[in-house]
Structure formats: C-alpha cells, structure tokens
C-alpha cells in the first residue's frame, strides 16, 4: 500500500485488516493410490477393452461368413463344418452379451473365441487332403492376423493359444487326417506357423508399447496431481505469509509520526512514502521538544520484511537516543545511533552488516537555525530559485570497514521564510524508467524540485507522485521511496 501524507491530506488505499486463517488442504489429498503395477495393468485392460470387443464381434461374424467358403471348397463336409462354426460363434456371442452381467474380463471375451476357432480349424484340417489344406490355410492365417491387429494382452495369452492350437492339430491329425506331417507342413503348415509366430511378436510389441505409454501417462498424471497439491500448499502458505505481512504493515505504520503533530509545527509540508513491498525499509521520524523539532528520513538496509525489521530497530533506537537522552545535535545523534546499532546487532562479532542511511535536521524555532547531519543521504535546500545540496557523510549508521570511528558532521544554517527543505532516501532518484530505461538520477530530481518549489506542498506531493509513476511506467519499483518536504 502507498500512502501520501500532506498538510491536511492523507491519500491512502483502504485495506481490510485480515486474520490468519487458511483452509486446510487435507480434503484435496487422495487416499494412497494403487500399486504402480496394478494401475498400469488396469489401464491397459481398460484401453484394450474396445478392441477386444471388436475382435469378438469380428470373430463371431467372420467365422460364420467363412461357411460360404466351406460350401464352395468342401461341399461334402460343409454341413459338419457349419455345425462346428455355428457352435463357436454362438459361444462367442454369449460371451459378448453376458460379460458385463457376469463381470467377465474382456480379455476372456476375445481369448475364448480365438481358442475355439483355433481348435475348430485344427478339426477341419484333420479331414482334408493336401489340396484342401492349402485352400483352408487362409482361415488359419486370418485368425492370427486378426489377433495381431485387434488384441492387446500379455504374452501368456498368445503362447497359450499357440500351444493349444498346436496340440489340437496334433490330436486331430492323429485321429482323422489322411496326410502325414510332412505333407501338412508343405501344404500350408509352415506358412501358418510363421504367421502365428509373427502375430505373437506383433501382439507383444504392441503390448509393450502400450505398457510404456500407459506407465508414462500415469506417472505424468501422478506428477501433475502432486504439482497441483504442492501448488495449492504453496498458495495457502503464501496467503498466510501475505496476511501476516499485511498485519505487520499496520504495526509499522503505527510507529510512523502522527501527521497532525507534524502539521502543528510545520504548517506546510508533505511526506511521499511509497514502500516497494507491503512493508518498508524506509521510515520517517519526528519529535518536537520545546523550541526544537527533530525530523529525519531513514533508509534501512534492504526492503520488504528484512528492511521492516531494521526499521523497527532504528525507530526504537532513535526514541532512546533522542527522546530519552534529549540529544539534539544531529552529528552527535548519528554518532550515538551508530554505536547503538553496532551494539544491538552485535556487529563487532561480524554477525551483521546491516545499517541505516539517514538525513536528519534539528530546527530551533527560537533562534531560526537549522542543523543537519547525514549518513550517505543529503539535505536539499531550495531558496530564491536556487538549489543547494548539503551532502551527508559517506558512511552508514552501522559498522564500516574504514570510517567506523569517524564522527558525523553537523552542518548549521539560518533558515529564511519561504525556504523549502527536502529530506530523501535514494529510492526516487535510483528508479529505472523513462524511454531509455535509465535511472531518474539526482540531477533530474533536483531540477524537478526547483520547478515545483513555488507550489504549495500539497500540490508538490501530487506532482512528485505523478512524476515518479510516469517515469517508472511498467517497470517494477526497485526500492522504497521516501521524500519529506518542509516550507519555512
């Protein structure tokens, strides 16, 4: 949320205070799934069911259709062959009709017709001579080719059909056949065996491909399911965190100075306060003591939650150093704050390098003087259409590898009526944007202040806010922004 605070205005985006509730996700997590092997086998059976039913119907119909070929080729055997074919087709039809009611596997609905047709063909072969065996070979080959095209099952079904067919042929040939094995093989047996082996390999290849594809699909579904659950968990936790941070924002805003209190001392002023995230590493501090007013713009290391923690520490230390000790010299205040930060964060042990940049003024209303000290951040004074920048010392309030023992400098001046004084963090000038995606820069910011300083502070607030957002455009805000303006 961004807040713009003026002499008599506080432009805020309203926000509800949220509690810390989150719907559990236990209801979304399913019971432990089937074992992987059971799942892919079930899925293959399910996907193959349609083909197996088609195969059963094809077996039922074509087995009867081939009776016409029997009539042409074996008229003297047609009646016996037709009875056998009719029995096989009726059993097949019965399986198709009853498999759902009896909860039979569709694999068996197609397996049984293939077994019966193989036995049927073995029986027919046993009554034929070499010439007729050649004519009937097509029927046998059709069975195996049909299986290869329509069946998706495990190798054990194919092997069992092959063995049953082989045994049936051996049995019926031994009982009925007028030809020997050599004649049988040369008349069509070798071709039929070759097609049978090829069909078995074809069925197994298709089965393996289906198996791999099914396992991959199930694994992907499982992964996607886990990803959805994890996504929901992350979103739930993220919402909890956001709600917590939004509540923390209330606490952070509560420590900021009361605008009415600032307005009682500085009648014409504004505060442009634009956190990058929900909470901010920038904060401002104000207290009035008799004839002296202390006002500071503070930029803590980082932004967001880490910066907000540092800002709470900084605010507490400023209350201690300034309010409790009644220390009003800006340089001395910054010196003392540096010692307190180093001690509080145990920086002497190398555990932290966090620090604060600051621009702090002490205004003595009785003497008409303004004192300033800065840690990296400057004081900007606009007087008579001229901009003066009083630079702060190039060191932070915290540990420093070279200048840790150097004192901060206090700059003093007399202020005049109409003077405009600005305390800033570096967020405004460092923002990337514009047509060439460059930093706004301190030079451009100084020119903007010179351009608007004649306007009331309320109007300056609006112009600065608009200028920042127009410069930023669609770019992300890179840092917290804090600008305090006071007209004497």
User: Per residue in 42-89, pLDDT tens?
Assistant: 777 777 788 788 888 888 888 888 888 778 877 888 888 899 989 988
> What's the pLDDT at 27?
44
Would you say residue 145 has pLDDT above 70? Answer: yes
> What's the pLDDT at 347?
77
User: What would the mean pLDDT of 133-139 be, rounded to a whole number?
Assistant: 69
Which CATH number applies to 256-487: 3.30.365.10, 3.40.47.10, 3.40.50.1100, 3.60.40.10? 3.60.40.10
d(CA 251, CA 280): 12
**Residue 152's pLDDT band (cuts 50, 70, 90):** confident
Most confident residue range from 103-107, 113-117, 245-249, 449-453: 449-453
**Residue 297's pLDDT band (cuts 50, 70, 90):** very high
User: What would the mean pLDDT of 6-12 be, rounded to a whole number?
Assistant: 35
CA 439 to chain centroid: 31
Please choose, from the candidates 410, 409, 431, the residue with its C-alpha nearest in 3D space to the C-alpha of residue 483: 431
Q: What angle do CA 385, 386, 391 make, to 5 degrees?
A: 145
Task: Return phi, psi of residue 14, to 5°.
Answer: -60, 145
Q: Of 330 and 13, which is predicted with more confidence?
A: 330
Non-local (6+) Cβ contacts of 481 within 8 A are: 272, 273, 274, 275, 276, 282, 425, 427, 428, 431, 468
Would you say residue 13 has pLDDT above 50? Answer: no
> What's the pLDDT at 481?
94
Q: Of 140 and 97, which is predicted with more confidence?
A: 97
> What's the pLDDT at 203?
77
Q: What angle do CA 487, 417, 330 make, to 5 degrees?
A: 65
Residue matched to tokens 């019965």 = 94
Would you say residue 95 has pLDDT above 50? Answer: yes
User: What would the mean pLDDT of 385-411 be, rounded to a whole number?
Assistant: 86
Most confident residue range from 180-189, 190-199, 305-314: 305-314
Most confident residue range from 147-161, 181-195, 252-266: 252-266
Burial class (CB in 10 A: 0-12, 13-18, 19+), 100: exposed
Q: Which of 100-114, 259-273, 277-291 has the lowest mean pLDDT?
A: 100-114
CB 184 within 8 A of CB 125: yes
Averaged pLDDT of the chain: 82
User: What would the mean pLDDT of 396-405 be, rounded to a whole number?
Assistant: 75
CB 301 within 8 A of CB 283: no
**Residue 271's pLDDT band (cuts 50, 70, 90):** very high
Domain ranges of the chain: 36-225, 256-487
Using one digit for the tens of pLDDT, what is the confidence trace for 315-361?
A: 999 999 998 778 899 999 999 999 998 888 887 665 567 888 999 99
Would you say residue 451 has pLDDT above 80? Answer: yes
Using one digit for the tens of pLDDT, what is the confidence trace for 218-266?
A: 888 888 888 888 888 888 888 888 888 888 888 888 889 988 889 999 9
> What's the pLDDT at 244?
83
Percent of the chain with pLDDT over 90: 34
Most confident residue range from 136-145, 237-246, 358-367: 358-367
Most confident residue range from 45-59, 197-211, 453-467: 453-467
Q: Which two tokens stand for residue 232?
A: 């929901």
> What's the pLDDT at 403?
66
Non-local (6+) Cβ contacts of 177 within 8 A are: 125, 126, 127, 128, 184
Non-local (6+) Cβ contacts of 370 within 8 A are: 361, 362, 363, 364, 412, 413, 414, 415, 421
């Amino acid at each position: 949320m961004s807040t713009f605070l003026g002499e008599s205005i506080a432009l805020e985006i309203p926000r509800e205070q949220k509690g810390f509730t989150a719907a559990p996700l236990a209801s979304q997590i399913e019971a432990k799934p089937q074992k992987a092997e059971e799942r892919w086998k079930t899925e293959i059976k399910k996907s193959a069911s349609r083909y197996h039913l088609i195969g059963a119907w094809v077996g039922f119909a074509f087995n009867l259709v081939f009776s016409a070929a029997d009539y042409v080729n074996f008229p003297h055997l047609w009646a016996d062959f037709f009875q056998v074919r009719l029995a096989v087709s009726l059993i097949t039809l019965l399986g198709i009709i009853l498999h759902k009611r009896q909860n039979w596997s569709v694999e068996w609905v197609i397996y049984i017709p293939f077994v019966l047709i193989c036995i049927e063909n073995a029986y027919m072969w046993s009554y034929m001579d070499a010439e007729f065996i050649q004519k009937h070979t097509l029927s046998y080959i059709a069975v195996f080719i049909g299986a290869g095209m329509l069946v998706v099952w495990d190798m054990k079904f194919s092997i069992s059909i092959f063995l049953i067919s082989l045994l049936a042929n051996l049995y019926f040939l031994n009982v009925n056949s007028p030809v020997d094995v050599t004649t049988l093989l040369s008349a069509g047996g070798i071709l039929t065996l070759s097609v049978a082996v090829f069909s078995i390999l074809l069925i197994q290849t298709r089965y393996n491909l289906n198996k791999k594809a099914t396992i991959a699909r199930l694994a992907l579904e499982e992964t996607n399911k886990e990803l959805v659950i994890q996504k929901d968990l992350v979103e739930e936790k993220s919402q909890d965190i956001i709600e917590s941070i939004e509540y923390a924002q209330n606490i952070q805003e509560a420590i900021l100075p009361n605008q009415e209190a600032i307005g009682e001392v500085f009648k014409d002023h504004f505060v442009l306060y634009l956190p990058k995230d929900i909470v901010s590493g920038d904060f401002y501090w104000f207290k009035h003591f008799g004839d002296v007013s202390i006002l500071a713009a503070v930029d803590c290391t980082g932004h967001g939650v880490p910066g907000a923690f540092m800002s709470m520490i900084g605010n507490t230390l400023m209350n201690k150093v300034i309010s409790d000790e009644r220390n009003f010299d800006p340089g001395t205040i910054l010196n003392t704050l540096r010692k307190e930060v180093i001690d509080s964060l145990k920086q002497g042990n190398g555990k932290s390098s966090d620090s604060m940049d600051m621009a702090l003024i002490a205004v003595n209303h009785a003497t008409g003087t303004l004192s300033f000290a800065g840690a990296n951040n400057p004081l900007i004074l606009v007087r008579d259409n001229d901009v003066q920048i009083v630079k702060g010392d190039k060191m932070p309030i915290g540990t420093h590898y070279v200048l840790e023992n150097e004192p901060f400098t206090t700059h003093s001046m007399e202020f005049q009526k109409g003077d405009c004084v600005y305390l800033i963090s570096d967020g405004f000038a460092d923002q990337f944007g514009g047509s060439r995606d460059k930093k706004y820069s301190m030079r451009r910011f100084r020119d903007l202040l010179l351009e608007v300083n004649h306007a009331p502070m309320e109007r300056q607030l609006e112009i600065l806010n608009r200028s920042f957002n127009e410069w930023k455009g669609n770019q992300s805000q890179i840092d917290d922004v804090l600008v305090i303006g006071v007209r004497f």
